[in-house]
Amino acid sequence: MKILFLDQSGKPGGAELCLLDIAKTYRGCLVCLFADGFFRTMLEEEQIPVKVLATAIDVQKDSSTLQGVYSIGRLLPLAISVARLSRKYDLIYANTQKALVVGALASVLSRRSLVFHLHDILSLEHFSKTNQRIAVTLANRFASLVIANSQASQSAFIAAGGQAKLTQVVYNGFNLAAYRDIASQRQPTRQALGFTDRDFVVGHFSRLAPWKGQHLLIEALTHCPESVSAMFVGDALFGERDYVTQLQQQVKDLHLEHRVRFVGFRSDVAELMAACDLVAHTSTAPEPFGRVIVEAMLCGTPVVAAAAGGAMELVADGVTGWLVAPGDPVKLAAVIVQCYDRPSIAQEIAATAQIQASQRFDLTAIARQIDRILVRVVG
**Against a cut of 0.75, is the pTM above it?**
yes
Predicted local distance difference test score (pLDDT) of residue 7:
97
Q: What are phi and psi of 361, to 5 degrees?
A: -125, 30
Predicted local distance difference test score (pLDDT) of residue 63:
47
Predicted local distance difference test score (pLDDT) of residue 66:
42
Please state, as a whole number, how many other Cβ atoms lie within 10 Å of the Cβ of residue 160.
18
pLDDT along the chain (379 residues), means of 10: 95 93 92 94 95 67 48 80 96 96 96 97 88 95 98 97 98 96 94 94 96 97 98 87 95 97 94 98 96 98 98 98 98 98 97 98 97 94
Beta pairing partners, 148: 118, 169
Q: Which strands form 278-280's sheet, in the order they lie side by side? A: 260-264, 228-233, 200-205, 278-280, 303-306, 322-324
Domain locations along the chain = 3-173+362-378, 176-360
CATH number of 3-173+362-378: 3.40.50.2000
Examine domains 3-173+362-378 and 176-360 and report if their fold is the same. yes
DSSP 178: G
CA distance 140 to 118: 13
Q: What letters, b where the CB count within 10 A reaches 16 and e where it falls short, cover 279-302? A: bbbbbbbbbbbbbbbbbbbbbbbb
CATH architecture of 176-360: 3-Layer(aba) Sandwich (3.40)
CA distance 208 to 346: 27
